[in-house]
Structures are given as C-alpha cells and as structure tokens.
Structure 1
Amino acid sequence: MKRKIIPYNPKLTALAKELRNNSTRTEIKLWNRLKRKQFYGYDFHRQKPLLDYIADFYCYELALVIEVDGYSHQLEETYLKDVKKQQALEAVGLSVLRFTDDEVWNEFESVLYRIEDFILKFEEGIGERL
C-alpha cells in the first residue's frame, strides 16, 4: 500500500518538539506502550504535526490519530477546537480515537483494548480491499 503523506504546517515542528519534551504523565504512560512498534508491530509517533494541528499520537500505517484530552478539553472553547481538528483530520482520511486523561490513567486496559479493537478491525478491512 502506498504511503499517504499528510501535509503539515512547518511552523509547528518547534512546538511539537517542545510538547514531546514536556509530555503529560498520561501521554508518557500511553507512549510507553505504543513506542518502538510494541503494540501489534505498528510504528506510532508522538506530537506529530498534521495539517495545522499537532496530533498526540499518529500511526501512518493505520491512518490513526490518538488524542489524550486533559481537563482543559472540557471547556467549551477547547472542545470546539477539538471538534474542528477532528473534522479536518477525518476529512483527509484519518481516524481519530479520543481518550481522557482519567481513562488513560485509571482505565488503561480499556484504552488499550479500544486501540487493539481498532487495529483488528483495520486489519480485517485490509484483507477485503486487496
């Protein structure tokens, strides 16, 4: 399958690097399970610029973005930005899984199960398209 390149705003690379260096504890917890192709052999990246946004986690093979939302994402202004971001990412063919900090911290196995479920369904779909 040919790799689909998602364009990004190069002005975001410095901010993405800063965010990688200042990850939240929940991002670190999830990253420790996703990094180095540990999770079903897929290559995830963290704080990845895509379009005019920075995705918390991104896997190009799965066309998947994973977002971890802290408390501020409950505020209406931030929530509306999240909706716009998700719509833009989906418009270029990406899927978005969204989790709260509480879910990652307190229901970690459920979070991993939802990601696993996405991967298994994705892999089943590949077989149908070939």
Structure 2
Amino acid sequence: MEILTHIGDIPILKSNIPSLPFNSHLKKLLPEKRKGGILCEVLFWKIVHRRKFHGIDFDRQSIIGNYIVDFYVKKLGLVIEIDGWSHDVKKEYDEKRQQYLESYGLKVFRISNHDILQNTAVVMKDLERYIIQNFGVEEGGVRE
C-alpha cells in the first residue's frame, strides 16, 4: 500500500487500476472540448490543476474506453463528472456510462453545475470526504 497524499491527518492510498481501454478516435475531440471552456469545468479546473488540491494530480478531459470524462485522477482511479442541465434528460445514458466506468474498478464522483457555481467550498469539502471514504486509511491502517 502506497500513500498518495494526506487529507488532514488521514493517509490517502493509491489505487491499483489496470490499464484502461482507450478509443484513439476520440483523441481528435479533446482540443475542442478543452477549448470549449464550460464555465463550471473551468472553475473546477482552476481549483485542482497543478496539484493545488491536496497534491493530487487531476487530468482534464480524459478518454476511458468510448467515453471522455470531465476529470480523472489516475492514481486513485477516480472520475469526476460535472453534470449540467442536459444530464436531466440523459439519465439512462449516464447510468450506463457510470456502470461501464465502475466495471473497471473506478469510482465516480458527480457534481452539479449549480453546486460548482453556488457552493464551491461545499463541493470541495464533499470531494475531500468522498476521497477519504473511498481511499483513506482509518486508524490502525485498515481501509473501510
């Protein structure tokens, strides 16, 4: 077990995620998606890029299989999805996509656009708690 970082005094362990499928045909879409600059994604990126959030390395617009995820933490196997209004009408698609990602042992943390815009500090605390619950080591060195 290798420690990636600490949140407070809680060690956060790296995950052993196998190499993931990669649809190279989606690669040509990445520059456009990154330049598209959806406000909520840009705001989140400003908070986490360059390891500003507990020293954790986030990637933006990562390809996993036939999907492009908003953010990915490779060393944790953590996907962060920021959901806008369009996700209200794509529930089945989102469920299928999440099941696919979880089938590789990935964890998916979802954030709404509204929460990023209105409650950024709360969102980041929720993300801390999620990481602690899923990747943290409790006293005695045992993960829940």
Structure-1-length-normalised TM-score: 0.89
**Aligned residues, how many?**
126
2:101 is equivalent to residue 89 of structure 1: yes
TM-superposed deviation, 1:100: 1.0
Task: Name the counterpart of 2:129.
Answer: 117
Give the % identical residues.
Answer: 36
- Compared with structure 1, are the counterparts of its residues 3 and 99 closer, same or farther at alpha carbon in structure 2 (3 Å cutoff)? closer
Taking the aligned partners of 2:88 and 2:82, their CA distance within structure 1 comes to 12
Structure 1 portions without partners, runs of 5+: none
Task: Name the counterpart of 2:110.
Answer: 98
Task: Name the counterpart of 1:38.
Answer: 52
Q: Secondary structure at 2:86's aligned position in 1?
A: helix
TM-superposed deviation, 1:3: 5.8
- Across the aligned residues of Structure 1 and Structure 2, the Cα RMSD in angstroms comes to 1.6
Q: Secondary structure at 2:117's aligned position in 1?
A: helix
Which whole-Å deviations, capped at 9, do the CAs of 1:63-90 have from their partners, x for residues lacking one?
1000001111111xx2211111100000
**Structure showing the higher helix proportion among its residues:** 1
Asked whether the equivalents of residues 17 and 47 of structure 1 are also in contact (C-alpha less than 8 Å), the reply is no
Q: Secondary structure at 2:137's aligned position in 1?
A: helix
Query: Aligned letter for 1:38?
Result: K
2:80 is equivalent to residue 66 of structure 1: yes
Runs of 4+ in 1 over 6 A off after TM superposition: none
TM-superposed deviation, 1:30: 0.4
Structure-2-length-normalised TM-score: 0.81
Q: What is the aligned counterpart of 1:7 among 13, 21, 35?
A: 21
**Structure showing the higher strand proportion among its residues:** 2
Structure 2 portions without partners, runs of 5+: 3-15
TM-superposed deviation, 1:23: 2.1
Larger radius of gyration: 2
TM-superposed deviation, 1:16: 2.0
Which range moves more in the overlay, 102-111 or 3-12?
3-12
